[in-house]
A and B are shown apart, each in its own frame.
Chain A
Amino acid sequence: MQSSSQSLKSTLSSLWQTLFGDPMRAFGVVSLLLLISLAIAPAKNHFSEWRHYQKQYLALIVSRGDAVTLQRHFHEHDGIQQIWLPQLGVVDRCTTCHVGLKEASLADVSTQPFRRHPVIPHTLDQFGCVMCHRGQGPATTVEEAHSSTLAWEQPTLPARYVQSSCGQCHRAPLTGTPQLNLGRNLLARYGCVHCHTIKLPDGSAMKPTDDPPSLEHVADKTTREWIYAWLKDPQSYAVTATMPNFKLSDPDARDISSFLIAASTSIAGDIAPVAAGGEVNNKDQKAPDPTAGASLYGESFCASCHAVQNAAGNVVGGDVGPELTRVGNKVKPEWLRAWLHNPRVYDPGTAMPHYRFTDPQLSLLTAFLENKTDSDLLANVHLDAATPEQIAHGKLLVTEYGCASCHEINGIKKPDNFAPELTRIGSKPLTQIIFLPGMTHAIPDYIAAKIRQPRSFGSALKMPQFTLAPAQIDALTTALLALTDRAHDLPMALTVPAKPPSNYQPAGKAGQLMADLACFSCHSINGRGGDMAPDLTWEGSSVQRQWLQAFLKNPGTLRPALIRRMPKFNLSDDDAKELADYILTVYQTPAFDRDSMPASGYPSAEVEQGRQLFYSKYACQSCHIVDTKTDKGYVGPTLTQVGSRLNAAWIYHWLKDPQNMRPGTIEPNRNMNDEDARALTAFLMTQKGSSKQEAKQ
């Protein structure tokens, strides 16, 4: 040891002597050191990551057919690239390494960072990169740009959530973003926004589209046993139930059911007389024809809104109303009968139309639905009479779990902001989040995990367990990720706002009738309503009075291929006339006068010319039927009686520009000249249908 330190000392002193032995030598050495230190910066630059990628890119393109063009594009801007968009807060240097983003000819290159950008409606120069992909725009190293490093906490967005970025500016649904659209629908449909406030950038709050039933009179409708079973596991009653599972213990579910029954008040006064009217209602007494109930269910097109799970386990039917697979386990026969008689007595705002069923029909349908049971569902539910302590505890639980955020419950006020606000959840700082062990520390992972299994973040948390498919969880995460600071802070001029919701309300007696028949559950008028059936905004310009009145009384089918059709409401003559009058007077387009063309009297030559055009030039028979013997087209409505159904002027203008008459219709615009449109109108107006055919349909 001693000798080695001795030798080290001598080595050092000899080294000193060699380097700085005399002034000249020292000057030379110091200059050299200075030069080297000056060279550090350029060397660092020379060996930087991005230069390495640019060299790789040049090597990649040199052997390609269009190398000269690609090289010219590259050399027009080599060095560090930057897209600077002050209005959007974008300073992106991504194109420094991602050199080939705009090169269409690089479609076959799969190695990053040289891939061409897929075709999207925006250009890089307008929007930059981080608007959609997040990450750190100004960074010039791979790690810093993409990952969540120490100083910067915004990593790039995984591709599965990229549609969320579209949602920052686009508030309305887009064709190209089905996942974002679905996610936004789910936020409203699964009632997330009952508990979580989501303020949209325009200042309005997102509104739920589900309609959780009021529980003020729940004891009229169902039993405590059913409530108990439902609370324990809503999906065991109906697989499509959107009610989440609160993972309640047996005593807790017992106490909540006790409280809900105890708090319920009766509206039996309105129900009793109706229920008394039905004698076939008695389950022991069988309906005359066992298939009659099923036929009535079919004829009334209940399945347009209600689904039933079939023997194969598939859920068949619409999702406007609740699934009815086991409805017999749930609702009391007298309640069901009264509900079918007039649903608006129990729930004035229901989407269910008020069918004018006759007494025998009520009995048939009640018996048919009450038979839809599952003997296992309530088999193991045995509840003793509720004690006051249980009821009191139940009330406490109902308050604690925020049940009144969704349901109206007697004696409990709807809580405000029951759960954390999600208005800017997409930009929530990571420091405010407690991640689970082993979880990626990124906001998308946190949101997805929270939706997938809320209670995994703590068994004492109140958020219930939703039943969602993986794609639905991704969609919800996407919609929530769109709620960023950027989305809120963008100048309004740079956003694409959604159409403001319409609160259109038809007036007078017809307006009341339309509410009673729940027309808006399926039809849309002036921007309000469902999309299951045709938009009726300009129906008054379209149809003839006689046809409309007859159709309202007894809706025939216009489109044989559709499984969802207008049900028969058993309207009285007066009601049908009232509705027809209103529709014909109010729902008129300003584009033309509906009486501007005659209903008949077209010269036969013109009619014949129209026939020729129909079958040869325009080949309308591919989608429409005029002659049931030869035509088979099933896409558009059957036109055998179109001359008795539509106004000539409507047909003419429709042929000229269908999308102008009904936006979004799939009939293609044929750019038809006036002469052809007139001839076709003449031909179609002669299609009156025979009275026999009409009777059949």
Chain B
Amino acid sequence: MIITKRRRTLFVAVLIFVTAGCTRQPGPASALKPTGFGTALVESSGGKQIGATGMALAQPLVVQVNDEQGTAVTGALVEFGGPAGVTFDPSSGLTDSSGQLSTNVALGGMAGRYQLTARTSTKAQKSVELKSVELKIEEIALGYQEQVGFQLDNKYCARCHNPESSAERVSNYDNLEVKPHPFSEGDTLNKMSDAELTAIISHGGPALNKSALMPPYGYTLSKTEIEALISYIRLISDPPYHAAGMVYAQK
């Protein structure tokens, strides 16, 4: 009798705890009711950005929901996701009249590549069951060292190594007899060791039997600065440089 009573109390207590634990997090998207359903999700802008750890990316991430004909779908529910530490503002929403949803992204606290996802539900024909399509977007977060490298690239290297011109900075790439390698050119740069990169930055092209058009920077940049530059080159490499560390993705 005592035992059963105790057990009952215990049972009730456990039940209360369990339910309290369960009801703590309501479904995040429960407030939004999609009014449209698409079949495809495409990235409009904001992918492949280079940001800094923990900080908001400069441009918002914009995705678009399309139907089978490729026309934009209004009112489709899009949910964004990413590895721990990544925040989206908003993290989900309905597409606007042009079928797009824009979100401000802040990357996690560690330097590396971040794989983000956008997901929207598709209504399978003649079925109430919801399926979803997913879009993968990659962004890069620079840590302190890579950030220093990025600044140095901007100041010293980009004029020749970046073929893109801007109003503020006309690229010298096309003027050079021997074309420099853009820093994201992983196919070439990934094959070079850190020691080789250090040598060519410090002593110029001739150090590796390459063009003298690449001048030496060993008397201009410090050892730490050259290391920072290499860490940056490794991180933005496409395809990725595998020794550069982590790719963060949602588990």
Q: Do A and B come from one complex?
A: yes
Query: A residues near B, CB below 8 A?
Result: 4, 8, 107-108, 110, 115, 118-121, 158-162, 175-176, 178-179, 316, 470-471, 474, 561, 563, 616-619, 621-623, 632-635, 659, 666, 668-671
Asked if A107 contacts B245 (CB within 8 A), the reply is: yes
Q: List 18 additional A-B contacts (Cβ < 8 Å) besides A176-B144, A176-B151.
A: A118-B144, A158-B54, A159-B108, A159-B109, A160-B106, A175-B148, A175-B152, A176-B145, A176-B147, A316-B167, A563-B168, A622-B213, A632-B176, A633-B175, A659-B220, A666-B155, A668-B216, A671-B219
Asked if A622 contacts B176 (CB within 8 A), the reply is: yes
Asked if A474 contacts B56 (CB within 8 A), the reply is: yes
Would you list the 7 A-B pairs with minimal beta carbon distance, nearest first? A159-B54, A632-B175, A159-B109, A561-B170, A669-B219, A619-B212, A622-B213
Knowing A118-B145, A471-B55, A635-B160 touch, does A668 contact B217 (C-beta < 8 A)? yes
Q: Does B190 contact A (CB under 8 A)?
A: no
Q: Does B172 contact A (CB under 8 A)?
A: yes
Complex partner residue of A668 from B58, B167, B170, B215, CB under 8 angstroms: B215
Asked if A618 contacts B246 (CB within 8 A), the reply is: no
Chain B contacts of A616 at CB under 8 A?
212
Complex partner residue of A635 from B54, B148, B172, B216, CB under 8 angstroms: B172
Knowing A118-B144, A634-B175, A668-B215 touch, does A160 contact B224 (C-beta < 8 A)? no
Knowing A160-B54, A175-B148, A619-B211 touch, does A108 contact B245 (C-beta < 8 A)? yes
A616 to B212, CA, bound (A): 7
Query: B residues near A, CB below 8 A?
Result: 1-2, 52-56, 58, 85, 89, 104, 106, 108-111, 143-145, 147-148, 151-152, 155-156, 159-160, 167-170, 172, 175-176, 211-220, 224, 227, 231, 245-246, 248
Asked if B156 contacts A666 (CB within 8 A), the reply is: yes
Minimum distance in angstroms from A470 CB to a CB of chain B: 5
Look across to chain B and name the residue whose beta carbon is closest to the beta carbon of A634. Answer: B172
Describe B's contact surface by its main secondary structure. Answer: loop
Chain A contacts of B1 at CB under 8 A?
4
Minimum distance in angstroms from B33 CB to a CB of chain A: 23
Minimum distance in angstroms from B209 CB to a CB of chain A: 14
Look across to chain A and name the residue whose beta carbon is closest to the beta carbon of B108. Answer: A159
Asked if A159 contacts B170 (CB within 8 A), the reply is: no
Minimum distance in angstroms from A585 CB to a CB of chain B: 32
Asked if B54 contacts A175 (CB within 8 A), the reply is: no
Q: Mind listing 8 A-B residue pairs with CB under 8 Å?
A: A115-B110, A119-B143, A119-B145, A176-B148, A470-B56, A471-B58, A619-B212, A668-B217
Chain B contacts of A178 at CB under 8 A?
52, 147, 151
A670 to B206, CA, bound (A): 13
Chain A contacts of B167 at CB under 8 A?
316, 563
Chain B contacts of A108 at CB under 8 A?
245-246
Chain A contacts of B218 at CB under 8 A?
671
Asked if B160 contacts A622 (CB within 8 A), the reply is: yes
Look across to chain B and name the residue whose beta carbon is closest to the beta carbon of A159. Answer: B54
Minimum distance in angstroms from A122 CB to a CB of chain B: 10
A159 to B109, CA, bound (A): 5
Asked if B220 contacts A4 (CB within 8 A), the reply is: no
Chain A contacts of B211 at CB under 8 A?
619
Complex partner residue of B212 from A120, A161, A618, A669, CB under 8 angstroms: A618
Knowing A316-B167, A659-B220 touch, does A160 contact B175 (C-beta < 8 A)? no
Look across to chain B and name the residue whose beta carbon is closest to the beta carbon of A620. Answer: B215
Chain A contacts of B248 at CB under 8 A?
110
Asked if A619 contacts B215 (CB within 8 A), the reply is: yes
Asked if A617 contacts B212 (CB within 8 A), the reply is: yes
Asked if A110 contacts B58 (CB within 8 A), the reply is: no
Chain A contacts of B155 at CB under 8 A?
666
A470 to B175, CA, bound (A): 38
Look across to chain B and name the residue whose beta carbon is closest to the beta carbon of A109. Answer: B246
Knowing A618-B212, A633-B172, A634-B175 touch, does A4 contact B224 (C-beta < 8 A)? no
Chain A contacts of B54 at CB under 8 A?
158-162
Look across to chain A and name the residue whose beta carbon is closest to the beta carbon of B246. Answer: A110
Look across to chain B and name the residue whose beta carbon is closest to the beta carbon of A316. Answer: B167
A666 to B152, CA, bound (A): 10
Look across to chain B and name the residue whose beta carbon is closest to the beta carbon of A616. Answer: B212
Minimum distance in angstroms from B31 CB to a CB of chain A: 15
Complex partner residue of A670 from B85, B152, B219, CB under 8 angstroms: B219
A308 to B169, CA, bound (A): 19
Asked if A159 contacts B175 (CB within 8 A), the reply is: no
A142 to B205, CA, bound (A): 51
Minimum distance in angstroms from A663 CB to a CB of chain B: 12
Complex partner residue of A622 from B56, B111, B172, CB under 8 angstroms: B172
Asked if A119 contacts B168 (CB within 8 A), the reply is: no
Asked if B172 contacts A118 (CB within 8 A), the reply is: no
Look across to chain A and name the residue whose beta carbon is closest to the beta carbon of B176. Answer: A622
Chain B contacts of A110 at CB under 8 A?
110, 246, 248
Look across to chain A and name the residue whose beta carbon is closest to the beta carbon of B148. Answer: A176
Look across to chain B and name the residue whose beta carbon is closest to the beta carbon of A471. Answer: B56
Chain A contacts of B227 at CB under 8 A?
119
A115 to B112, CA, bound (A): 13
Look across to chain B and name the residue whose beta carbon is closest to the beta carbon of A110. Answer: B246
Minimum distance in angstroms from A634 CB to a CB of chain B: 5
Asked if B55 contacts A474 (CB within 8 A), the reply is: yes
Asked if A618 contacts B170 (CB within 8 A), the reply is: no
A161 to B54, CA, bound (A): 8
Asked if B220 contacts A622 (CB within 8 A), the reply is: no
A670 to B204, CA, bound (A): 10
Chain A contacts of B104 at CB under 8 A?
470
Minimum distance in angstroms from B108 CB to a CB of chain A: 7
Chain A contacts of B231 at CB under 8 A?
119
Between A316, A563, A668, the greatest number of chain B beta carbons within 10 A of the residue's beta carbon is seen for A668
Asked if B55 contacts A179 (CB within 8 A), the reply is: yes
